[in-house]
Amino acid sequence: MRDEFDSRTTLTLTGLFDGGTREKANEDLSVVIPMYNEEETADKCINRVLKIIEKVASNYELIIVDDGSKDGTWDKIQAWAARNAHIQSIKHTKNLGVGVAFLDGFKKSKGKYIVTLDADLSYPPEELPKLLHEIHMGYDVVLASCHVKGGKMVNVPFFRKLTSRLGCIFYKIILKLPLITVDTFFAVYPAEIVKELELKSRGFDLIPELIIKLWKSGYKITEVPTVLTWEKGRKSKIKLFTEVFRRLKLIRTLVRFKVEN
């Protein structure tokens, strides 16, 4: 399976980096974005993401999963889907968790590469060409990271910074990973490989499980420095206690995964 994937079609992204003619990628991209109560930001998110993927991919789809929103998020998604055939939508009648949202998006995807993004766009989608460039350079999986050299956090609340950095330290100590960030929502994965994996997590721990299983399977993974930005005035949907509990639960899950494997 690994050798078969190494013979993938080459991505042509030269113009995006050298200032020359902008050439589009030869590969299909499926961009998967879960949304939950994003009525106020859905239009901005979809507009920004479409602008960048239209520049870097000749064939693409944007898969948006409404994970049981209680506001007008679904109406916003449907309005976009009605006027753009590249947009696919999935609706959960209740909140099932971001992991389930990603999994449903993965199942629906048809592209050769899956791009994951968070609806709040704290990681800028405009950095996608940098991630695709690393795919072109021979990596199987590319992760956006605010923790590697060159990356940083801007306007992020102190407790979110602290728990994120402590989490990275714990992951590295417990799992002895050569990676700093294993919980980033902004990444590029080969779709065929992702769909073959048996993933058990259903919440925020899905992405770390996915990344760790890919690493343990021998796939080449790299991290690209990116700026994680919170808009001024933004309020976190996750409170301090919830964030700490989530991190502890994730660490427990990863420890169990390490023991089982």
Domain boundaries, the chain: 2-260
Helix axes 42-56, 128-136, angle to 10 degrees: 30
Q: Which of 134, 98, 106, 68 is nearest to 197 (CA)?
A: 106
Q: Which pair of tokens denotes residue 11?
A: 């991505």
pTM comes to: 0.84
Please provide the average confidence, as pLDDT, over all residues in the chain.
Answer: 83
Between residues 22 and 167, the one the model is more confident about: 167
- Count of other CB atoms within 10 angstroms of residue 260: 7
Q: What is the pLDDT of residues 26-56, one digit of tens each?
A: 568 999 999 999 999 999 999 999 999 999 9
Average confidence (pLDDT) over 137-163: 87
The CATH superfamily holding the domain 2-260 is: Spore Coat Polysaccharide Biosynthesis Protein SpsA; Chain A (3.90.550.10)
Token match 């994680």: residue? 228
Q: Are 223 and 149 in contact (CB under 8 A)?
A: no
DSSP 9: P
Residue 233 pLDDT class (50, 70, 90 cuts): low
pLDDT in the model for residue 177: 79
Most confident of 40-44, 167-171, 208-212: 40-44
Q: What percent of the chain has pLDDT over 70?
A: 76
Q: Which pair of tokens denotes residue 102?
A: 């990603």
Alpha-carbon span 194 to 199, nearest angstrom:
9
Q: Which pair of tokens denotes residue 47?
A: 């507009």
Q: Which pair of tokens denotes residue 122?
A: 């704290």
- Rounded to the nearest angstrom, the gap between the alpha carbon of residue 175 and the centroid of all alpha carbons in its chain is 21
Alpha-carbon span 100 to 41, nearest angstrom:
21
- Count of other CB atoms within 10 angstroms of residue 49: 23
Between residues 218 and 255, the one the model is more confident about: 218
Non-local (6+) Cβ contacts of 83 within 8 A are none
Of all helices (H) and strands (E), which one includes residue 98?
helix 98-108
Local structure of 74: helix, strand or coil: helix
Spell out the long-range contacts of 155-160 with Cβ–Cβ below 8 A and sequence spacing 24 or more: 155/229, 155/230, 155/231, 155/232, 155/234, 156/228, 156/229, 156/230, 157/230, 157/236, 159/240, 159/243, 160/236, 160/243
Of all helices (H) and strands (E), which one includes residue 43?
helix 42-56
